[in-house]
Structure 1
Protein backbone atom coordinates (compact mmCIF):
# COMPACT_ATOMS: atom_id res chain seq x y z
CA UNK A 1 0.00 0.00 0.00
CA UNK A 2 1.36 3.41 -1.01
CA UNK A 3 1.71 6.31 1.38
CA UNK A 4 -1.39 8.20 0.16
CA UNK A 5 -3.93 5.36 0.71
CA UNK A 6 -2.35 4.57 4.09
CA UNK A 7 -2.86 8.18 5.16
CA UNK A 8 -6.53 8.00 4.09
CA UNK A 9 -7.10 4.77 6.04
CA UNK A 10 -5.33 6.17 9.09
CA UNK A 11 -7.40 9.35 8.87
CA UNK A 12 -10.67 7.39 8.70
CA UNK A 13 -9.69 5.23 11.69
CA UNK A 14 -8.81 8.37 13.63
CA UNK A 15 -12.20 9.94 12.84
CA UNK A 16 -14.06 6.78 13.90
CA UNK A 17 -12.09 6.57 17.16
CA UNK A 18 -12.64 10.23 17.96
CA UNK A 19 -16.35 9.83 17.19
CA UNK A 20 -16.65 6.86 19.57
CA UNK A 21 -14.87 8.77 22.34
CA UNK A 22 -17.12 11.82 21.87
CA UNK A 23 -20.25 9.62 21.85
CA UNK A 24 -19.19 7.83 25.03
CA UNK A 25 -18.41 11.16 26.69
CA UNK A 26 -21.88 12.52 25.89
CA UNK A 27 -23.48 9.32 27.23
CA UNK A 28 -21.48 9.53 30.47
CA UNK A 29 -22.26 13.23 30.86
CA UNK A 30 -25.98 12.52 30.43
CA UNK A 31 -25.91 9.83 33.12
CA UNK A 32 -24.00 12.07 35.52
CA UNK A 33 -26.46 14.95 35.00
CA UNK A 34 -29.31 12.64 35.94
CA UNK A 35 -27.44 11.39 39.01
CA UNK A 36 -26.50 14.91 40.14
CA UNK A 37 -30.07 16.16 39.75
CA UNK A 38 -31.57 13.27 41.70
CA UNK A 39 -32.07 14.79 45.12
CA UNK A 40 -35.66 13.63 45.59
CA UNK A 41 -37.15 16.88 44.19
CA UNK A 42 -40.52 18.21 45.37
CA UNK A 43 -43.67 16.91 43.70
CA UNK A 44 -44.03 18.31 40.20
CA UNK A 45 -46.88 19.02 37.83
CA UNK A 46 -48.78 16.04 36.48
CA UNK A 47 -50.04 15.96 32.92
CA UNK A 48 -53.79 16.05 32.68
CA UNK A 49 -54.35 17.08 36.31
CA UNK A 50 -57.07 19.50 37.31
CA UNK A 51 -57.10 22.98 38.91
CA UNK A 52 -53.60 24.48 39.13
CA UNK A 53 -51.93 21.44 37.54
CA UNK A 54 -50.18 20.28 40.69
CA UNK A 55 -50.56 16.94 42.39
CA UNK A 56 -53.66 16.90 44.56
CA UNK A 57 -52.91 14.94 47.74
CA UNK A 58 -55.73 12.95 49.34
CA UNK A 59 -57.78 14.82 51.93
CA UNK A 60 -56.62 14.41 55.51
CA UNK A 61 -52.95 13.93 54.62
CA UNK A 62 -50.37 16.59 55.48
CA UNK A 63 -48.43 18.29 52.74
CA UNK A 64 -45.55 15.96 51.84
CA UNK A 65 -43.22 18.14 49.76
CA UNK A 66 -40.51 18.08 52.45
CA UNK A 67 -40.96 14.41 53.35
CA UNK A 68 -38.04 12.51 51.79
CA UNK A 69 -39.63 9.13 52.49
CA UNK A 70 -42.80 10.20 50.67
CA UNK A 71 -40.75 11.27 47.67
CA UNK A 72 -38.83 8.00 47.58
CA UNK A 73 -42.12 6.06 47.61
CA UNK A 74 -43.81 8.58 45.24
CA UNK A 75 -46.75 8.94 47.60
CA UNK A 76 -49.66 10.47 45.70
CA UNK A 77 -48.13 9.56 42.33
CA UNK A 78 -48.30 5.78 42.35
CA UNK A 79 -51.81 4.50 41.71
CA UNK A 80 -52.26 0.72 42.15
CA UNK A 81 -54.87 -1.02 40.00
CA UNK A 82 -55.69 -4.68 40.67
CA UNK A 83 -56.44 -6.35 37.34
CA UNK A 84 -56.45 -9.99 38.45
CA UNK A 85 -56.59 -12.00 41.68
CA UNK A 86 -55.71 -15.34 40.06
CA UNK A 87 -52.95 -14.92 39.18
CA UNK A 88 -52.35 -11.87 41.40
CA UNK A 89 -51.52 -8.91 39.12
CA UNK A 90 -51.40 -5.22 40.04
CA UNK A 91 -50.61 -2.38 37.64
CA UNK A 92 -48.72 0.40 39.45
CA UNK A 93 -49.38 3.54 37.43
CA UNK A 94 -46.70 6.29 37.65
CA UNK A 95 -44.39 3.94 39.57
CA UNK A 96 -41.22 5.52 38.10
CA UNK A 97 -40.48 9.14 37.34
CA UNK A 98 -39.45 10.08 33.81
CA UNK A 99 -35.92 10.81 35.12
CA UNK A 100 -35.69 7.32 36.59
CA UNK A 101 -36.81 5.75 33.31
CA UNK A 102 -34.25 7.75 31.30
CA UNK A 103 -31.50 6.97 33.80
CA UNK A 104 -32.01 3.21 33.60
CA UNK A 105 -31.99 3.33 29.81
CA UNK A 106 -28.85 5.45 29.70
CA UNK A 107 -26.97 3.16 32.10
CA UNK A 108 -27.99 0.05 30.16
CA UNK A 109 -27.48 1.17 26.55
CA UNK A 110 -23.66 0.71 26.27
CA UNK A 111 -23.81 -2.75 27.90
CA UNK A 112 -26.70 -4.47 26.10
CA UNK A 113 -26.17 -8.06 25.01
CA UNK A 114 -28.41 -10.70 23.44
CA UNK A 115 -30.82 -11.96 26.11
CA UNK A 116 -30.77 -15.54 27.38
CA UNK A 117 -33.21 -17.93 29.06
CA UNK A 118 -32.63 -20.35 31.94
CA UNK A 119 -31.75 -23.90 30.89
CA UNK A 120 -33.99 -26.15 33.03
CA UNK A 121 -31.31 -28.87 33.10
CA UNK A 122 -28.27 -26.82 34.06
CA UNK A 123 -29.82 -23.63 35.47
CA UNK A 124 -27.50 -21.54 33.27
CA UNK A 125 -28.44 -18.86 30.76
CA UNK A 126 -28.61 -19.95 27.12
CA UNK A 127 -29.60 -18.19 23.90
CA UNK A 128 -33.02 -19.15 22.57
CA UNK A 129 -35.60 -18.05 20.00
CA UNK A 130 -38.06 -17.99 22.92
CA UNK A 131 -36.62 -14.58 23.79
CA UNK A 132 -35.28 -12.17 21.14
CA UNK A 133 -34.50 -9.04 23.14
CA UNK A 134 -31.20 -7.58 24.33
CA UNK A 135 -30.44 -6.73 27.93
CA UNK A 136 -28.05 -6.32 30.86
CA UNK A 137 -27.99 -6.51 34.66
CA UNK A 138 -27.00 -3.67 36.96
CA UNK A 139 -23.99 -4.62 39.05
CA UNK A 140 -23.82 -4.74 42.88
CA UNK A 141 -21.96 -1.41 43.01
CA UNK A 142 -24.73 0.34 41.06
CA UNK A 143 -27.19 -0.96 43.63
CA UNK A 144 -25.69 1.58 46.05
CA UNK A 145 -26.53 4.60 43.87
CA UNK A 146 -29.26 6.88 45.35
CA UNK A 147 -31.59 6.54 42.38
CA UNK A 148 -31.33 2.74 42.33
CA UNK A 149 -31.76 2.56 46.11
CA UNK A 150 -34.94 4.66 45.84
CA UNK A 151 -36.38 2.38 43.14
CA UNK A 152 -35.50 -0.77 45.07
CA UNK A 153 -37.03 0.55 48.29
CA UNK A 154 -40.20 1.45 46.40
CA UNK A 155 -40.35 -2.06 44.92
CA UNK A 156 -39.88 -3.56 48.37
CA UNK A 157 -42.67 -1.50 49.95
CA UNK A 158 -45.24 -2.15 47.22
CA UNK A 159 -44.40 -5.86 46.92
CA UNK A 160 -43.97 -6.30 50.69
CA UNK A 161 -40.77 -8.26 50.07
CA UNK A 162 -37.49 -7.15 51.75
CA UNK A 163 -34.97 -5.33 49.55
CA UNK A 164 -32.31 -7.96 50.27
CA UNK A 165 -34.56 -10.64 48.76
CA UNK A 166 -34.38 -9.00 45.35
CA UNK A 167 -32.17 -9.94 42.43
CA UNK A 168 -30.20 -7.30 40.56
CA UNK A 169 -32.35 -5.19 38.23
CA UNK A 170 -32.29 -6.30 34.60
CA UNK A 171 -32.88 -3.73 31.82
CA UNK A 172 -34.23 -4.98 28.49
CA UNK A 173 -34.74 -3.53 25.01
CA UNK A 174 -37.20 -5.02 22.52
CA UNK A 175 -36.89 -3.69 18.97
CA UNK A 176 -39.41 -4.11 16.15
CA UNK A 177 -40.63 -7.73 15.74
CA UNK A 178 -38.92 -8.86 18.96
CA UNK A 179 -40.84 -10.71 21.66
CA UNK A 180 -40.67 -13.09 24.64
CA UNK A 181 -42.85 -16.18 24.37
CA UNK A 182 -45.07 -17.12 27.36
CA UNK A 183 -43.08 -18.53 30.27
CA UNK A 184 -42.98 -18.75 34.06
CA UNK A 185 -40.60 -16.70 36.20
CA UNK A 186 -40.34 -19.38 38.88
CA UNK A 187 -37.52 -21.91 38.47
CA UNK A 188 -37.99 -25.47 37.27
CA UNK A 189 -34.44 -26.47 38.20
CA UNK A 190 -32.76 -26.99 41.57
CA UNK A 191 -29.60 -25.05 40.68
CA UNK A 192 -31.12 -21.56 40.86
CA UNK A 193 -33.07 -22.02 44.10
CA UNK A 194 -29.91 -22.73 46.11
CA UNK A 195 -29.24 -19.01 46.56
CA UNK A 196 -32.29 -17.07 47.67
CA UNK A 197 -34.90 -19.77 47.15
CA UNK A 198 -37.71 -19.64 44.62
CA UNK A 199 -38.84 -16.49 42.82
CA UNK A 200 -42.10 -15.37 44.39
CA UNK A 201 -42.88 -12.05 42.68
CA UNK A 202 -41.86 -9.92 39.70
CA UNK A 203 -41.94 -6.16 39.17
CA UNK A 204 -41.79 -5.23 35.48
CA UNK A 205 -41.23 -1.50 34.89
CA UNK A 206 -41.77 0.25 31.54
CA UNK A 207 -39.13 2.78 30.48
CA UNK A 208 -40.22 4.05 27.05
CA UNK A 209 -43.14 5.70 25.28
CA UNK A 210 -44.66 5.46 21.80
CA UNK A 211 -44.50 1.68 21.53
CA UNK A 212 -46.97 -0.23 19.37
CA UNK A 213 -47.51 -3.79 20.52
CA UNK A 214 -45.09 -5.09 23.15
CA UNK A 215 -47.82 -5.73 25.71
CA UNK A 216 -47.18 -7.94 28.72
CA UNK A 217 -49.54 -10.86 28.17
CA UNK A 218 -51.11 -13.20 30.75
CA UNK A 219 -52.92 -15.95 28.78
CA UNK A 220 -54.48 -17.61 31.87
CA UNK A 221 -55.71 -14.41 33.56
CA UNK A 222 -59.23 -13.12 33.10
CA UNK A 223 -61.96 -14.53 30.92
CA UNK A 224 -62.08 -12.07 28.04
CA UNK A 225 -59.93 -11.03 25.10
CA UNK A 226 -57.05 -8.60 24.84
CA UNK A 227 -54.62 -7.18 22.29
CA UNK A 228 -51.20 -8.82 21.94
CA UNK A 229 -48.86 -7.66 19.19
CA UNK A 230 -51.71 -6.58 16.95
CA UNK A 231 -53.82 -9.72 17.47
CA UNK A 232 -56.82 -10.38 19.69
CA UNK A 233 -56.20 -13.29 22.07
CA UNK A 234 -57.72 -14.70 25.23
CA UNK A 235 -56.42 -13.47 28.59
CA UNK A 236 -55.19 -10.13 29.93
CA UNK A 237 -52.51 -7.80 28.62
CA UNK A 238 -50.88 -4.62 29.93
CA UNK A 239 -49.79 -1.85 27.57
CA UNK A 240 -46.19 -0.66 28.13
CA UNK A 241 -46.69 2.95 29.27
CA UNK A 242 -43.55 4.79 30.37
CA UNK A 243 -43.34 5.00 34.16
CA UNK A 244 -45.92 2.28 34.84
CA UNK A 245 -45.04 -1.08 36.39
CA UNK A 246 -46.68 -4.49 36.68
CA UNK A 247 -46.39 -6.39 39.95
CA UNK A 248 -47.36 -10.05 39.78
CA UNK A 249 -46.77 -13.13 41.91
CA UNK A 250 -45.29 -16.40 40.71
CA UNK A 251 -46.37 -18.15 43.90
CA UNK A 252 -49.88 -18.46 45.30
CA UNK A 253 -51.06 -17.79 48.84
CA UNK A 254 -50.49 -21.48 49.55
CA UNK A 255 -46.75 -21.04 48.95
CA UNK A 256 -46.79 -23.16 45.82
CA UNK A 257 -45.71 -22.08 42.34
CA UNK A 258 -48.68 -20.66 40.45
CA UNK A 259 -48.93 -22.03 36.89
CA UNK A 260 -51.49 -19.32 36.08
CA UNK A 261 -48.69 -16.75 36.35
CA UNK A 262 -47.45 -17.70 32.88
CA UNK A 263 -46.81 -14.53 30.88
CA UNK A 264 -45.00 -13.23 27.83
CA UNK A 265 -43.90 -10.14 25.97
CA UNK A 266 -45.95 -9.57 22.81
CA UNK A 267 -44.26 -8.71 19.53
CA UNK A 268 -43.25 -5.06 19.14
CA UNK A 269 -44.91 -3.59 16.05
CA UNK A 270 -43.24 -0.17 16.05
CA UNK A 271 -40.82 1.79 18.23
CA UNK A 272 -38.62 0.34 20.97
CA UNK A 273 -39.91 -1.19 24.17
CA UNK A 274 -37.58 -0.65 27.12
CA UNK A 275 -38.29 -2.31 30.45
CA UNK A 276 -36.61 -3.10 33.76
CA UNK A 277 -37.30 -6.30 35.67
CA UNK A 278 -36.87 -7.04 39.35
CA UNK A 279 -37.35 -10.59 40.61
CA UNK A 280 -38.06 -11.13 44.30
CA UNK A 281 -37.00 -14.33 46.12
CA UNK A 282 -38.08 -16.25 49.24
CA UNK A 283 -34.81 -15.48 51.04
CA UNK A 284 -31.95 -13.00 50.88
CA UNK A 285 -29.90 -12.97 47.68
CA UNK A 286 -26.84 -11.13 49.07
Structure 2
Protein backbone atom coordinates (compact mmCIF):
# COMPACT_ATOMS: atom_id res chain seq x y z
CA UNK A 1 0.00 0.00 0.00
CA UNK A 2 2.87 2.35 0.90
CA UNK A 3 4.58 1.67 -2.43
CA UNK A 4 1.35 2.31 -4.29
CA UNK A 5 0.84 5.63 -2.47
CA UNK A 6 4.38 6.71 -3.36
CA UNK A 7 3.72 5.80 -7.02
CA UNK A 8 0.50 7.83 -7.11
CA UNK A 9 2.19 10.81 -5.44
CA UNK A 10 5.07 10.67 -7.90
CA UNK A 11 2.63 10.49 -10.82
CA UNK A 12 0.64 13.48 -9.56
CA UNK A 13 3.86 15.44 -9.05
CA UNK A 14 4.97 14.61 -12.59
CA UNK A 15 1.61 15.73 -14.04
CA UNK A 16 1.66 18.97 -12.05
CA UNK A 17 5.20 19.81 -13.15
CA UNK A 18 4.24 19.02 -16.75
CA UNK A 19 1.28 21.37 -16.56
CA UNK A 20 3.44 24.18 -15.18
CA UNK A 21 6.12 23.67 -17.83
CA UNK A 22 3.47 23.59 -20.57
CA UNK A 23 1.93 26.82 -19.30
CA UNK A 24 5.32 28.51 -19.18
CA UNK A 25 6.12 27.47 -22.75
CA UNK A 26 2.82 28.90 -23.97
CA UNK A 27 3.29 32.15 -22.07
CA UNK A 28 6.88 32.43 -23.29
CA UNK A 29 5.56 32.13 -26.84
CA UNK A 30 3.06 34.94 -26.21
CA UNK A 31 5.67 37.17 -24.61
CA UNK A 32 8.02 36.54 -27.55
CA UNK A 33 5.32 37.85 -29.89
CA UNK A 34 4.87 40.93 -27.71
CA UNK A 35 8.40 42.29 -27.72
CA UNK A 36 8.91 45.57 -25.84
CA UNK A 37 10.29 47.13 -29.03
CA UNK A 38 6.81 48.47 -29.83
CA UNK A 39 5.08 48.64 -33.20
CA UNK A 40 8.08 49.98 -35.18
CA UNK A 41 9.63 46.51 -35.31
CA UNK A 42 6.54 45.18 -37.11
CA UNK A 43 5.37 48.19 -39.15
CA UNK A 44 6.37 46.73 -42.54
CA UNK A 45 5.17 43.21 -41.75
CA UNK A 46 1.65 42.61 -43.12
CA UNK A 47 1.20 39.39 -41.16
CA UNK A 48 2.30 41.08 -37.92
CA UNK A 49 -0.16 43.88 -38.58
CA UNK A 50 -2.93 41.32 -38.98
CA UNK A 51 -2.02 39.77 -35.65
CA UNK A 52 -1.52 43.19 -33.97
CA UNK A 53 1.94 42.20 -32.79
CA UNK A 54 3.48 44.89 -30.64
CA UNK A 55 0.02 46.25 -29.82
CA UNK A 56 -1.61 43.41 -27.88
CA UNK A 57 -0.43 43.33 -24.28
CA UNK A 58 -0.93 40.06 -22.33
CA UNK A 59 -1.54 40.08 -18.57
CA UNK A 60 -1.69 36.86 -16.54
CA UNK A 61 -4.64 37.03 -14.16
CA UNK A 62 -4.71 33.48 -12.79
CA UNK A 63 -2.83 30.19 -13.02
CA UNK A 64 -5.71 28.04 -11.78
CA UNK A 65 -7.85 28.39 -13.74
CA UNK A 66 -5.53 29.67 -16.46
CA UNK A 67 -6.79 33.14 -17.37
CA UNK A 68 -4.97 35.71 -19.51
CA UNK A 69 -6.24 39.21 -20.27
CA UNK A 70 -5.14 40.62 -23.64
CA UNK A 71 -5.24 44.41 -23.66
CA UNK A 72 -5.92 46.04 -27.04
CA UNK A 73 -6.68 42.68 -28.67
CA UNK A 74 -9.16 44.20 -31.15
CA UNK A 75 -8.80 47.30 -33.28
CA UNK A 76 -11.68 49.77 -33.73
CA UNK A 77 -12.35 48.14 -37.12
CA UNK A 78 -12.60 44.71 -35.48
CA UNK A 79 -15.05 45.97 -32.88
CA UNK A 80 -17.87 46.89 -35.25
CA UNK A 81 -20.96 45.16 -33.95
CA UNK A 82 -23.52 46.02 -36.63
CA UNK A 83 -23.26 42.58 -38.26
CA UNK A 84 -26.11 41.45 -36.03
CA UNK A 85 -28.55 43.49 -33.96
CA UNK A 86 -30.21 40.71 -31.96
CA UNK A 87 -29.38 39.97 -28.33
CA UNK A 88 -27.42 36.84 -29.23
CA UNK A 89 -26.45 35.42 -32.60
CA UNK A 90 -23.77 33.21 -34.12
CA UNK A 91 -21.99 34.54 -37.18
CA UNK A 92 -22.72 32.40 -40.22
CA UNK A 93 -20.19 30.33 -42.17
CA UNK A 94 -20.29 32.96 -44.92
CA UNK A 95 -19.67 35.81 -42.48
CA UNK A 96 -16.70 33.85 -41.18
CA UNK A 97 -15.04 34.50 -44.56
CA UNK A 98 -15.14 38.28 -44.14
CA UNK A 99 -11.56 39.67 -43.99
CA UNK A 100 -12.14 41.26 -40.57
CA UNK A 101 -13.47 38.00 -39.11
CA UNK A 102 -10.68 35.96 -40.71
CA UNK A 103 -8.10 38.31 -39.19
CA UNK A 104 -9.66 38.04 -35.73
CA UNK A 105 -9.89 34.25 -35.92
CA UNK A 106 -6.26 33.98 -37.01
CA UNK A 107 -5.25 36.23 -34.12
CA UNK A 108 -7.19 34.03 -31.70
CA UNK A 109 -5.48 30.91 -33.08
CA UNK A 110 -2.01 32.41 -32.64
CA UNK A 111 -2.50 33.66 -29.09
CA UNK A 112 -4.39 30.58 -27.88
CA UNK A 113 -2.22 28.10 -29.80
CA UNK A 114 -5.40 26.30 -30.91
CA UNK A 115 -5.86 25.89 -34.70
CA UNK A 116 -8.49 28.18 -36.22
CA UNK A 117 -10.30 25.20 -37.73
CA UNK A 118 -10.93 23.87 -34.21
CA UNK A 119 -13.03 26.90 -33.34
CA UNK A 120 -16.79 27.22 -33.26
CA UNK A 121 -18.49 30.12 -35.02
CA UNK A 122 -18.13 33.42 -33.16
CA UNK A 123 -21.15 34.38 -31.09
CA UNK A 124 -22.03 38.06 -30.59
CA UNK A 125 -24.00 38.84 -27.42
CA UNK A 126 -25.72 41.90 -25.99
CA UNK A 127 -26.51 42.24 -22.30
CA UNK A 128 -28.95 44.98 -21.32
CA UNK A 129 -29.50 46.49 -17.87
CA UNK A 130 -30.04 43.83 -15.14
CA UNK A 131 -29.14 40.95 -17.49
CA UNK A 132 -26.49 38.47 -16.40
CA UNK A 133 -25.14 34.95 -16.98
CA UNK A 134 -24.91 32.79 -13.88
CA UNK A 135 -21.63 30.90 -13.20
CA UNK A 136 -21.20 27.87 -15.44
CA UNK A 137 -18.59 25.77 -17.23
CA UNK A 138 -17.97 25.95 -20.96
CA UNK A 139 -16.94 22.31 -21.19
CA UNK A 140 -19.54 19.65 -21.94
CA UNK A 141 -20.73 16.96 -19.54
CA UNK A 142 -22.79 15.05 -22.13
CA UNK A 143 -21.74 12.80 -25.00
CA UNK A 144 -23.98 14.42 -27.64
CA UNK A 145 -22.01 17.68 -27.86
CA UNK A 146 -18.69 15.82 -27.78
CA UNK A 147 -19.45 14.05 -31.07
CA UNK A 148 -18.71 17.18 -33.09
CA UNK A 149 -15.24 18.52 -32.44
CA UNK A 150 -14.69 16.92 -29.05
CA UNK A 151 -14.44 18.81 -25.78
CA UNK A 152 -14.13 22.59 -25.52
CA UNK A 153 -10.51 23.38 -24.70
CA UNK A 154 -10.54 27.14 -24.25
CA UNK A 155 -12.64 30.28 -24.66
CA UNK A 156 -11.73 33.71 -26.01
CA UNK A 157 -14.15 36.39 -24.78
CA UNK A 158 -13.79 39.73 -26.58
CA UNK A 159 -15.30 42.97 -25.31
CA UNK A 160 -16.93 45.21 -27.93
CA UNK A 161 -18.11 48.06 -25.71
CA UNK A 162 -17.08 49.69 -22.45
CA UNK A 163 -19.70 52.37 -21.77
CA UNK A 164 -21.22 50.05 -19.21
CA UNK A 165 -21.35 49.73 -15.45
CA UNK A 166 -21.22 46.21 -14.08
CA UNK A 167 -21.11 43.34 -16.57
CA UNK A 168 -17.80 41.98 -15.30
CA UNK A 169 -16.66 38.47 -16.21
CA UNK A 170 -16.50 36.57 -12.94
CA UNK A 171 -14.27 33.61 -11.98
CA UNK A 172 -15.40 32.42 -8.50
CA UNK A 173 -12.62 29.83 -8.21
CA UNK A 174 -9.73 32.09 -9.24
CA UNK A 175 -7.54 33.53 -6.51
CA UNK A 176 -8.39 34.27 -2.90
CA UNK A 177 -9.26 37.94 -3.13
CA UNK A 178 -12.48 39.88 -3.52
CA UNK A 179 -13.88 41.89 -6.41
CA UNK A 180 -16.96 43.80 -7.56
CA UNK A 181 -19.48 41.76 -9.56
CA UNK A 182 -22.51 43.74 -10.69
CA UNK A 183 -22.13 46.06 -7.70
CA UNK A 184 -21.76 43.23 -5.19
CA UNK A 185 -18.54 42.28 -3.43
CA UNK A 186 -17.75 38.62 -4.11
CA UNK A 187 -14.82 36.25 -3.65
CA UNK A 188 -12.79 35.43 -6.75
CA UNK A 189 -11.59 37.29 -9.84
CA UNK A 190 -13.62 39.85 -11.82
CA UNK A 191 -12.60 41.28 -15.21
CA UNK A 192 -14.16 44.61 -16.15
CA UNK A 193 -15.34 44.83 -19.77
CA UNK A 194 -13.04 47.20 -21.64
CA UNK A 195 -13.60 47.75 -25.35
CA UNK A 196 -10.90 46.05 -27.39
CA UNK A 197 -9.66 43.76 -24.62
CA UNK A 198 -10.10 39.97 -24.63
CA UNK A 199 -10.01 37.29 -21.94
CA UNK A 200 -8.61 33.86 -22.76
CA UNK A 201 -9.28 31.05 -20.33
CA UNK A 202 -8.94 27.28 -20.50
CA UNK A 203 -11.72 24.80 -19.74
CA UNK A 204 -9.25 21.91 -19.88
CA UNK A 205 -5.93 21.49 -18.11
CA UNK A 206 -2.70 20.44 -19.78
CA UNK A 207 -3.40 16.96 -18.42
CA UNK A 208 -6.34 16.70 -20.83
CA UNK A 209 -8.95 16.75 -18.07
CA UNK A 210 -11.74 19.31 -17.66
CA UNK A 211 -10.94 22.01 -15.11
CA UNK A 212 -13.69 22.63 -12.52
CA UNK A 213 -11.92 25.85 -11.54
CA UNK A 214 -12.83 27.32 -14.93
CA UNK A 215 -16.27 28.14 -13.53
CA UNK A 216 -17.24 31.62 -14.73
CA UNK A 217 -20.19 33.91 -15.28
CA UNK A 218 -21.30 37.33 -16.47
CA UNK A 219 -22.16 39.81 -13.71
CA UNK A 220 -25.32 41.89 -13.90
CA UNK A 221 -25.21 45.00 -16.06
CA UNK A 222 -26.07 48.01 -13.91
CA UNK A 223 -26.04 50.70 -16.59
CA UNK A 224 -25.68 50.78 -20.37
CA UNK A 225 -25.28 47.81 -22.71
CA UNK A 226 -22.53 45.21 -22.75
CA UNK A 227 -21.54 43.85 -26.15
CA UNK A 228 -19.19 40.90 -26.43
CA UNK A 229 -18.06 38.23 -28.87
CA UNK A 230 -17.20 34.70 -27.80
CA UNK A 231 -15.08 32.08 -29.54
CA UNK A 232 -15.07 28.53 -28.18
CA UNK A 233 -12.25 26.20 -29.25
CA UNK A 234 -12.48 22.43 -29.46
CA UNK A 235 -10.08 19.48 -29.38
CA UNK A 236 -10.38 18.91 -33.11
CA UNK A 237 -11.77 20.45 -36.27
CA UNK A 238 -15.41 20.00 -37.24
CA UNK A 239 -16.86 23.47 -37.88
TM-score range for the pair, normalised by the shorter chain length: 0.7 to 0.9
Deviation at 1:60, TM superposition (A): 9.4
2:145 paired with 1:169: no
Deviation at 1:169, TM superposition (A): 0.2
Structure 2 partner of 1:58: 36
Residue by residue over 1:115-161, the C-alpha shift from the partner in whole angstroms, topping out at 9 and shown as x without a partner, is: xxxxxxxxxxxxxxxxxxx2000001111111000000000000000
Number of residue equivalences: 205
Deviation at 1:63, TM superposition (A): 3.3
Residue by residue over 1:5-34, the C-alpha shift from the partner in whole angstroms, topping out at 9 and shown as x without a partner, is: xxxxxxxxxxxxxxxxxxxxxxxxxxxxxx
Structure 1 partner of 2:74: 96
Give structure 1 stretches of 5+ with no counterpart. Answer: 1-56, 113-133
Secondary structure of the equivalent of 1:260?
A: helix
Structure 1 partner of 2:58: 80
* Contact 2:140/2:152, CA 8 A, preserved across alignment: yes
Pick the aligned partner of 1:144 from 73, 97, 112.
97
Deviation at 1:227, TM superposition (A): 0.6
Deviation at 1:61, TM superposition (A): 8.3
Residue by residue over 1:253-277, the C-alpha shift from the partner in whole angstroms, topping out at 9 and shown as x without a partner, is: 1110000000000000001000000
Structure 1 partner of 2:142: 189
Structure 2 partner of 1:108: 84
Structure 1 partner of 2:8: none
TM-score, normalised relative to structure 2 = 0.83
Partners of 1:181 and 1:59 lie apart in 2 by 41
Q: For the pair shown, which has the larger CA radius of gyration, 1 or 2?
A: 1
TM-score, normalised relative to structure 1 = 0.70
Deviation at 1:59, TM superposition (A): 3.5
Distance 1:145 1:177, change over 3 A: same
Structure 2 partner of 1:71: 49
How large is the Cα RMSD of the aligned pairs? 1.3
Partners of 1:168 and 1:136 lie apart in 2 by 10
